[in-house]
Amino acid sequence: MRKWATFPLREGEVSRQAHADFPDRAIYEREAGRSGFFGPASHFHHTHAPTSWVDWQGPLRPRAFDLTQLEQNLNGSPWDLPDVLHNAHCKFRVWRLTEPMEFLARNADGDDLLFIHQGKGELFCDYGHLSITDGDYVVIPRSTMWRIVPTEPMFLLMIEATNDAYQLPEKGLVGNHAIFDPAVIDTPKIDTVFQAQYSEDAWQVHIKRHNAVSVVTYPFNPLDTIGWHGDLSVMRVNWRDIRPLMSHRYHLPPSAHTTFVAQRFVVCTFVPRPVESDPGALKVPFYHNNDDYDEVLFYHAGDFFSRDNIEAGMLTFHPAGFTHGPHPKAFKAAQEKPKTFLDEVAVMLDTRDSLYVGEQMSATENTQYVNSWMPKP
């Protein structure tokens, strides 16, 4: 058994509450924390922004990629997609799909989480039929057979929980109906659309195991379920169903926006919400070095208030090991003329293990992103 040493201390000029009511001489706060905002932490007050570097050398650095520029085989197999980011416990990929899949996919390596960035379509799987559209998260349990028929061109994220499963976060004091009520979760139906795809024609199932693909051919469509019962299923929730936790007096950490949890990473969703209204409350994300986790943000829609020159379809990657936070322009705007409402949607991936950048990502990278925090002359 282990436990963190706990010894809350105070030294010098400090606030009584994190993220609020800073000392007069300091407008910058930096959090150094462990275990992804769940472990011990200290809050430093600074007279200079912790991201005001003027030079950066070496391989560790903040990185930004434009995923709309990633080249891939349109309508290819999901098992042939290049990794955007990956480690032993997680694979992050993007997928463009305009034509119906002509085979069934099955991932024997772990659960898949789809996020529909653009487009809409019909998903057919062991459990039935489900219409999917932009903003949907779709959890596909390990070894489920499935295929997608787009009705509009689709741009999807695929996040694999390798040798793992997706679960919902523990909601603690706020109860089971906070963030999103389980009643909003949709599951596939054995409806007339599903029944119409029953077939005696030959179908293939492409099964991925240890990143190798095996192809099994049936003389019929194996999605021939006529009924099922149990508590395991494909499930869908849309970001529009999420009602974010918030406080008018305190800027909540990203952990308050957790949507799905695996053993070695979490997926969070930032959705539109009012800005903290208390005069002393921090109104932008706080500077932090979350030194146990790598942080990834995919920008889906809206005005990304803490970032400059970031558009929908882009991704930022902040590995553990350095302080990061709002861009100078965003921080200044929050000080001089703070917004009252945030209109942004973003998907965050926080991983306990270091992520590696895929080999094909260099062509999509903004190599000047590291310089975007530097003071302007």
User: pTM for this structure?
Assistant: 0.92
**pLDDT confidence tier of residue 333, bands split at 50, 70 and 90:** confident
**Residue 64 — φ and ψ, nearest 5°?**
-135, 140
Q: If one looks up domain 28-65+241-372 in CATH, what number appears? A: 2.60.120.10
CA dist., res. 220 & res. 203, Å (int): 6
Question: For 122-178, how does the pLDDT look when each residue is reduced to its tens digit (9 = 90+)?
Answer: 999 999 999 999 999 999 999 999 999 999 999 999 999 999 999 999 998 899 999
- Which CATH fold topology does 73-239 show? Jelly Rolls (2.60.120)
- Quick one: tokens of 257? 């926006």
According to the model, what pLDDT value does residue 147 have? 98
Closest CA relative to residue 224, chosen from 185, 196, 182: 196
* Strand ranges (E), 175-233: 203-209, 212-218
Question: For 286-304, how does the pLDDT look when each residue is reduced to its tens digit (9 = 90+)?
Answer: 888 878 999 999 999 998 8
Closest CA relative to residue 168, chosen from 262, 243, 264, 255: 262
According to the model, what pLDDT value does residue 114 have? 98
Taken in order 166, 269, 302, 49, is the CA torsion positive or negative?
Answer: negative
According to the model, what pLDDT value does residue 241 have? 97
According to the model, what pLDDT value does residue 25 have? 67
> Which percentage of the chain shows pLDDT scores above 90?
66
Q: Is 311 exposed, middle or buried (0-12, 13-18, 19+ CB in 10 A)?
A: exposed
Q: Which of 103-107, 161-165, 272-276 has the lowest average pLDDT?
A: 272-276
Cα distances (Å, whole numbers) of residue 347 to 157, 167, 284, 344? 10, 16, 17, 10
Compute the average pLDDT of residues 188-212. Answer: 97
pLDDT tops 90 at residue 350: yes
Neighbours of 18 (CB within 10 A): 17
Angle 103-107-111 from CA coordinates, rounded to 5°: 130
CA 115 to chain centre: 9
Compute the average pLDDT of residues 351-377. Answer: 91
Question: For 28-83, how does the pLDDT look when each residue is reduced to its tens digit (9 = 90+)?
Answer: 888 888 877 777 888 888 888 888 899 999 999 999 999 999 987 778 899 999 99
According to the model, what pLDDT value does residue 177 have? 92
pLDDT tops 70 at residue 306: no
CATH 2.60.120.10 residue window(s) in the chain: 28-65+241-372, 73-239
Taken in order 301, 240, 237, 162, is the CA torsion positive or negative?
Answer: positive
- Quick one: tokens of 153? 């061109």
> Which percentage of the chain shows pLDDT scores above 70?
99
Taken in order 74, 149, 146, 241, is the CA torsion positive or negative?
Answer: positive
According to the model, what pLDDT value does residue 377 have? 62
CB 78 within 8 A of CB 91: no
